[in-house]
């Protein structure tokens, strides 16, 4: 994929792929999500999908990167919640009936 050739119609104001990457990273988007967005959006360009201008291209990159990052965060959070749930269930199951009752009375369970 020739990125320089693909960005050529949108290079107003000196727009380059390197500047787009830096801009996305400054938005707080991690590198894997930036890489994913670059791959997906530039593949669209390669397939002939046009954008209105360079700003529209930038906004599409940002939208795709944020969606990818959000989906990644959601997956990580679900995994962590499952781990915590398993740990809590394990600790609870180790308690005898008297200790369980005591925890309930103290408002911890």
pLDDT class for 100, splitting at 50, 70, 90? confident
Contact 37, 24 (CB under 8 A): yes
User: What 8-state DSSP symbol labels residue 51?
Assistant: -
Percent share of the chain, pLDDT over 70? 96
Q: What span, in angstroms and rounded, lies between the C-alpha atoms of 31 and 11?
A: 22
Please tell me whether residue 90 adopts helix, strand or coil conformation: helix
What average pLDDT does the structure give for the chain? 87
Q: What span, in angstroms and rounded, lies between the C-alpha atoms of 34 and 38?
A: 6
What are residue 48's phi and psi, to 5 degrees?
Answer: 95, 10
Dihedral of alpha carbons 10, 11, 12, 17, sign: positive
Give the model's pLDDT for residue 97.
80
Q: What value, to the nearest 5°, has the Cα angle with vertex 57 and ends 67 and 24?
A: 55
């Amino acid at each position: 994929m020739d990125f320089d050739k693909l960005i050529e119609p949108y290079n107003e104001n000196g727009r380059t792929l390197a500047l787009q990457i830096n801009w996305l990273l400054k938005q707080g988007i991690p590198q894997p999500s930036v890489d994913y967005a670059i791959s997906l959006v530039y593949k669209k360009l390669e397939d002939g999908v046009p954008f209105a201008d360079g700003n529209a291209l930038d906004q599409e990159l940002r939208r795709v990167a944020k969606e990818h990052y959000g989906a990644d965060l959601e997956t990580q959070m679900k995994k962590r919640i499952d781990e915590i749930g398993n740990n809590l269930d394990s600790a609870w199951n180790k308690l005898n009936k008297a200790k369980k009752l005591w925890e309930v009375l103290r408002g911890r369970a």
